[in-house]
Amino acid sequence: MDPKPVGLCPRRTVRGRPRATSDRHDPCARCGRNIPRLAATWPEGRLCFTCYFNAVHTHGTCPACLQDRLLPGPPNADGHPTCVACAEIPYDFHCQRCNVEAAHHRGRLCARCALRDGLHDLLGGEPNQPALAGLVDALCVDDRPESIIVWKRSAKVQELLRTLGDGTIPVTHEGLDTVPGKPTEHLRAILQHHGLLPQRDQYLPRFEQWIDAKLAGLPDDVGQPVRHFATWHHLRRIRAKAAAGASTRGPVHSAKQEITETVKFLLWLHETYQRTAATCTQQDVDEWIASGPTTRSAIRTFFVVATKTRLNTTVTVQHRSATTSPSLSQDQRLAWIHELLTGTSESLPYRVAGMLLLLYAQPLVRVVALPTSIISNSENGMTIALGTHPTDVPEPFASTIWQHLASRPNLRTGAGSNNPWLFPSTLAGRHLHPGTAMDRLRSLGVNLLGARNRAIGELVLQCPPSLVAEALGYSPQVAFLHATKAAEPWARYAGRRISSP
């Protein structure tokens, strides 16, 4: 059997371009819908674009001739699609360049060949530079050339490829840095993946941008010493690590925490006592640390550096003793909940996980394994089913959880938005590993693991979520109701539906 049934001029039989036939609306031969615009006329009749698209993307073994090829023909009696020859479709789908039988783009070229031509057009011809030639190959070996064709239609992508092609932007990390944006990062990732650019640490450049954003708009008394600290202590150290090929994720994370805490402290000092890093006293530091969560001790490094650089030689900050501290006070719990609610020191999922731990005394091992189905929305607001019955989630915690639900990370790698977990993992279909959540919260200074969960349970009993909300300045009208229930055992509290006032 001739694998290339060419006979009729394809222009007469296959309308490559949609054509409006306003006078007649024939139904599609496959789906039966009335179609003002048709994609092709084949022996079976006229085809709509959807059916045509499906037809020219179906490959397999033809049930009539047993050849492995494109199967655009209508299904046989068994419902199995057939090949061009057996269906007597008068069109040859072989690519005129590479001879692959597939849907045509740009005249009679397959998607891959059309993509290569399109990339060459944008790059000003077939590139000589190995990195760009490699980039074209890399984009064309992608298993979905059609999605790259669509991506390439974006004006930003076209501009980027043009400027890379004409040499305006060199194909280097530094060159790509001059055109920030998603298309650039996509290209950088491809270039790195295929060894066309060396791997570069992604945390360091983001950290540099983060410092600028963090310090923007601060009073000079606060901004200047922190910039010095960030630049001469942290950046120098982290750049050296990156240059040595070490991971900078952890160091960047703790540097951000130390900078954030130092900014908070210096702002407080500036506003409360009108003093600066240079005129700060030991009492100031002691007061600040004693009156807040353990993360406040993260200002220690700033004062170690301040002593070395003779900025302030009178203040010392002890290492935080969170790991040996036997229990958490109610004030610390409230301060932590406040921090998780409003802070920027950790990303939203970890803040929500920490909040569930501190608000409802749920151990992290259990928190990370919670399905989204335990959250419901009733007319009285959000409820969460931690026991057998749902319990109220007061504002502002409900909003934070809604916000998290709407933006759960890692869904792209998982089962899409059907992922059942409140905290999806980067591994498809799994929930976050408890160890990951513990590490992240522990590095923030929340040392609230299994052993101390009982202690949190007691704190929850004295001050359940609605009272926490009130203590933090929310919903005072519900305080009375919950105050009377505060003495009930936690199990009963968690196990009953509390009606709103």
Select the residue interacting with Zn ion from 55, 113, 197, 298 (CB under 5 A).
113
Residues 33-52, mask of contacts with Zn ion (x by CB under 5 A):
---------------x--x-
Q: Binding of Zn ion at residue 64 (CB under 5 A)?
A: yes
Which residues are CB-neighbours of 127 under 8 A, at least 6 positions away?
120, 133, 135, 136, 165
Q: Binding of Zn ion at residue 149 (CB under 5 A)?
A: no
SS3 344: coil
Choice between 138 and 461, CB closer to Zn ion: 138
How far apart CA 443 and CA 323 sit, in angstroms, is 11
Structure tokens of 100? 């692959």
How far apart CA 275 and CA 372 sit, in angstroms, is 48
Q: Binding of Zn ion at residue 62 (CB under 5 A)?
A: yes
CB of 186 to Zn ion, least distance (A): 24
CB of 64 to Zn ion, least distance (A): 4
Choice between 100 and 411, CB closer to Zn ion: 100
Q: Binding of Zn ion at residue 200 (CB under 5 A)?
A: no
Q: Binding of Zn ion at residue 84 (CB under 5 A)?
A: no
Q: Which stretch binds Zn ion (CB under 5 A): 22-30, 135-143, 180-188, 269-277?
A: 22-30
Q: Binding of Zn ion at residue 55 (CB under 5 A)?
A: no
Q: Binding of Zn ion at residue 65 (CB under 5 A)?
A: yes
40 beta partners: 47
CB of 98 to Zn ion, least distance (A): 3
Q: Binding of Zn ion at residue 30 (CB under 5 A)?
A: yes
CA atoms within 13 A on the CB side of 262: 30
Q: Binding of Zn ion at residue 190 (CB under 5 A)?
A: no
Angstrom CA distances, 391 to 195, 233, 245, 374, stand at 53, 47, 49, 10
Q: Which stretch binds Zn ion (CB under 5 A): 81-89, 194-202, 383-391, 427-435?
A: 81-89
Q: Binding of Zn ion at residue 86 (CB under 5 A)?
A: yes
CA dihedral 27, 31, 36, 37 (to 10 degrees): -120
CA atoms within 13 A on the CB side of 252: 20
Angstrom CA distances, 450 to 70, 359, 453, stand at 59, 15, 5
Q: Which stretch binds Zn ion (CB under 5 A): 102-110, 178-186, 281-289, 309-317?
A: 102-110
Alpha helices in 274-360 (DSSP H): 282-290, 300-308, 330-342, 348-360
- How many residues make contact with Zn ion (CB under 5 A)? 15
Select the residue interacting with Zn ion from 6, 8, 9, 98 (CB under 5 A).
98
Angstrom CA distances, 501 to 212, 229, 340, 481, stand at 47, 51, 27, 7
Choice between 20 and 213, CB closer to Zn ion: 20
Residues 388-417, mask of contacts with Zn ion (x by CB under 5 A):
------------------------------
How far apart CA 35 and CA 25 sit, in angstroms, is 6
Residues that bind Zn ion (CB under 5 A): 28, 30-31, 48, 51, 62, 64-65, 83, 86, 95, 97-98, 110, 113
